Amino acid sequence: MSDSAVSEVDTLPETAEPARPRRDPAKLVRTAAWLALLVVLLALPLYLDAAWLKAGQYMMIGAVGAIGLTLVVGQAGQLSLAHAFFLLAGGTAYTVLSGPTGDDRVIGFGLDPGLSLLGAVAVAALLGLAFAPVAGRLRGIYLGVASLALVFLGLYFGQSAEELTGGTSTGRTPAPFSLFGFPFTNDGPQLALLGVPIRAAERMWYLFLLLTVIAFVIARGAAGGRVGRSWRAVRDNEAAAAVMGVSVLRAKAGAFAVSSAYGGLAGAMTVLWFDILKPDESEFGTYGINVSIAFLAMVIIGGLGSVPGALVGALIVNGLPQVLALYSADLGWFSGTGDGALTPVLVSSFVYGAAIILVVLFEPGGLAAIGRRITQRRFRRQPPEEP
Amino acid sequence: MNTFLQLVVNGLGKGAVFALLALGFVIIFKATEVVNFAHGSLVLFGGYLVVVTRDALGWVGASLVGIVSAGVLGLLVERLLLSRSRHADANSLALLTIGVDVMVTEEIVRRLGVTLPFLGGAWDAKPFQLGGITLFRTHLVALGVAAVLITAFWLAFKYSNWGVAMRAQAENREAAALMGIRSSRVTATAWLVAGLLAGVAVLFIATQDFSGAGLSRGTHSIALAAFPAAILGGLDSTAGAVVGGLVVGLVEALSAQYVSFDFSKSAVFLVMLVVLVVRPSGLFGTRERTRV
- Encode A32-58 in three state secondary structure: HHHHHHHHHHHHHHHCCCHHHHHHHHH
Mean pLDDT of A143-157: 89
CA distance to A42, A336, B27, B67, B239, per residue, from B153 (Å): 62, 47, 10, 16, 11
pLDDT class for A9, splitting at 50, 70, 90? very low
CB A357 within 8 Å of CB B100: yes
| Chain B residues within an 8 Å CB radius of A144 | 35, 94
> According to the model, what pLDDT value does residue A296 have?
92
Partner-chain contact B114 A339, CB within 8 Å: yes
| Chain A residues within an 8 Å CB radius of B106 | 346, 349-350, 353
CB B91 within 8 Å of CB A79: yes
> Which of B35, B113, B272 lies nearest to residue A340, judging by beta carbons?
B113
Query: What is the C-alpha separation between A150 and B29, in angstroms, rounded?
Result: 23
* Minimal C-alpha gap between A186 and chain B (Å): 39
Query: What is the C-alpha separation between A159 and A136, in angstroms, rounded?
Result: 29
pLDDT class for A140, splitting at 50, 70, 90? confident
CA distance to A203, A286, A330, per residue, from A54 (Å): 11, 17, 17
Partner-chain contact A282 B218, CB within 8 Å: yes
> Which of B93, B94, B102 lies nearest to residue A352, judging by beta carbons?
B102
Is it the case that residue A139 has pLDDT exceeding 60?
A: yes
CA torsion through residues A139, A140, A145, A147, sign: positive
* Minimal C-alpha gap between A185 and chain B (Å): 37
| Chain B residues within an 8 Å CB radius of A346 | 106, 110
> According to the model, what pLDDT value does residue A335 have?
60
Is it the case that residue A339 has pLDDT exceeding 80?
A: no
* Minimal C-alpha gap between A179 and chain B (Å): 38
pLDDT class for A340, splitting at 50, 70, 90? low
Is it the case that residue A321 has pLDDT exceeding 80?
A: yes
| Per-residue pLDDT tens over the stretch A35-86 | 999 988 888 888 888 888 989 999 999 999 999 999 999 888 888 899 999 9
| Chain B residues within an 8 Å CB radius of A342 | 110
pLDDT per residue rounded down to tens, chain B (292 residues): 778 888 888 899 999 999 999 999 899 988 888 888 999 999 999 999 999 998 888 888 999 999 999 999 999 999 998 888 766 778 888 889 999 999 999 999 888 887 888 887 777 777 777 777 778 888 888 999 999 999 999 999 889 988 899 888 888 888 888 888 888 888 999 999 999 999 999 999 988 888 778 888 888 888 888 889 998 888 888 889 999 999 999 999 999 888 888 888 889 999 998 888 888 888 887 776 666 5
> Which of A140, A152, A361 lies nearest to residue B81, judging by beta carbons?
A361
| Chain B residues within an 8 Å CB radius of A355 | 99
Burial class (CB in 10 A: 0-12, 13-18, 19+), B239: middle
Partner-chain contact A141 B91, CB within 8 Å: yes
Q: Return the beta strands (E) in A106-232 as ranges.
A: 178-179, 182-183, 191-193, 196-198
**Nearest 5°: CA angle at B151, between B150 and B153?**
65
Partner-chain contact A79 B91, CB within 8 Å: yes
| Chain A residues within an 8 Å CB radius of B107 | 350
Residue in chain B nearest A146 by alpha carbon: B273
Highest mean pLDDT among A187-196, A230-239, A341-350: A230-239
Helix axes A50-70, A200-224, angle to 10 degrees: 20
> According to the model, what pLDDT value does residue B12 have?
92
Please tell me whether the overall predicted TM-score, pTM, comes out greater than 0.80 for this model: yes
Is it the case that residue A173 has pLDDT exceeding 60?
A: yes
Average pLDDT score, chain A:
83
Looking at the DSSP bridge assignments, the partners of residue B129 are: B134
> According to the model, what pLDDT value does residue A332 have?
65
| Per-residue pLDDT tens over the stretch A343-368 | 888 888 898 899 999 888 888 888 88
State the virtual CA torsion across A140, A144, A150, A153 in degrees, nearest 10: -130
Q: What is the ipTM of this complex?
A: 0.89
> Which of B106, B260, B290 lies nearest to residue A350, judging by beta carbons?
B106
CA distance to A367, B49, B75, B211, per residue, from B220 (Å): 30, 15, 19, 11
| Chain A residues within an 8 Å CB radius of B266 | 149, 152-153, 155-156
> According to the model, what pLDDT value does residue B181 have?
87
| Per-residue pLDDT tens over the stretch A100-122 | 887 778 888 878 888 999 999 99
Residues 6 or more apart whose Cβ sits within 8 Å of residue A378: A26
Size of interface A-B (CB pairs under 8 A): 136
> What is the three-state SS of chain B?
CHHHHHHHHHHHHHHHHHHHHHHHHHHHHHHHCCCCCCHHHHHHHHHHHHHHHHHHHHHHHHHHHHHHHHHHHHHHHHHHHHHHCCCCCHHHHHHHHHHHHHHHHHHHHHHHCCCCCCCCCCCCCCCEEECCEEECHHHHHHHHHHHHHHHHHHHHHHHCHHHHHHHHHHHCHHHHHHCCCCHHHHHHHHHHHHHHHHHHHHHHHCCCCCCCCCCCHHHHHHHHCHHHHHHHHCCCCHHHHHHHHHHHHHHHHHHHHHCCHHHHHHHHHHHHHHHHHHCCCCCCCCCCCCCC
The helix (run of H) or strand (run of E) holding residue A167 is: helix A167-170
